[in-house]
Structure 1
Amino acid sequence: MRGSDRNAGGVAAAEALALGGLGWLAADPERLDALMGAAGLAPADLAARAAEPEFLGFVLDFILADEARARDFAEESGLGPEDATRARMALPGGDVAHWT
């Protein structure tokens, strides 16, 4: 398998995980309101933005920004503790900065 093929699969899996995260957030009105406020979105905008890889990266950023939220998402979704972080790294803007 070529490197670009593996990367495409990684992106697709990351997008699927982020969509799962969006669904998890949407299942709780308080969490969804917090996401919408952080994103500056109206509810009508959510469906259109859910198809954008950049927005899916934002969804994972939002989940990962709070340790309790990240832990709850992982536990309730049956994910390992680092799965959301790895998925975030595969989406646009998710490159890990190396400060040396």
Structure 2
Amino acid sequence: MRKSKRNPREVAEIVAIQALSFVAGDPERLGRFLAESGIGPETLRGAAADPRFLASVLDFVMRDDATVKAFAEASQLHPTNVAAAHQALNDPDWERDVP
């Protein structure tokens, strides 16, 4: 059986969604994120479909080494994978394929 290949952007979005779940799992961390992003808890789920919002989630996680390490450990990722996802989502040369 052949493995499906995902592009780096798709993988980065998956990592960012995991990061959002990680942030949401800690009320204090979530409060800081919501205050910084200006988004309300009622619109959080809808915002998760926006790649720019997902990039902001990884921006928030990447700002603090302890947060990056905690997220990486909780997600069973290496911190460099988190950094690569952050870079992929913040790549200005990438454009989403639209059918």
TM over 0.5: yes
Question: 1:21 is aligned with what amino acid?
Answer: A
Equivalent residue in structure 2 for 1:51, among 35, 49, 52 = 49
Task: State the superposition RMSD in angstroms.
Answer: 1.5
- 2:85 matched residue in structure 1: 87
Matches within 5 A, 1:10-89: 10-89=8-87
Alignment TM-score, normalising by the size of structure 1: 0.82
Q: Percent identity?
A: 38
Distance in 1 of aligned mates of 2:91 and 2:16: 13
**Kindly tell me: are residues 68 and 49 of structure 1, through their superposed partners in 2, closer, same or farther at Cα, counting changes over 3 Å?**
same
Greater than 6 Å deviation, 4+ residue runs: none
For each residue in 1:5-25, what CA deviation from the matched residue of structure 2 results, as whole angstroms up to 9, or x when unmatched? Answer: x8x711110000000000011
Q: Which runs of 5+ in 1 are unaligned?
A: 1-5, 96-100
Distance in 2 of aligned mates of 1:48 and 1:81: 27
Q: Which runs of 5+ in 2 are unaligned?
A: 93-99
Question: 2:17 is aligned with what amino acid?
Answer: L
Alignment TM-score, normalising by the size of structure 2: 0.82
Distance in 2 of aligned mates of 1:81 and 1:31: 19
Structure 1 residue 77: deviation in Å? 1.1
Distance in 1 of aligned mates of 2:79 and 2:54: 19
Count of equivalent residues: 88
Distance in 1 of aligned mates of 2:79 and 2:48: 23
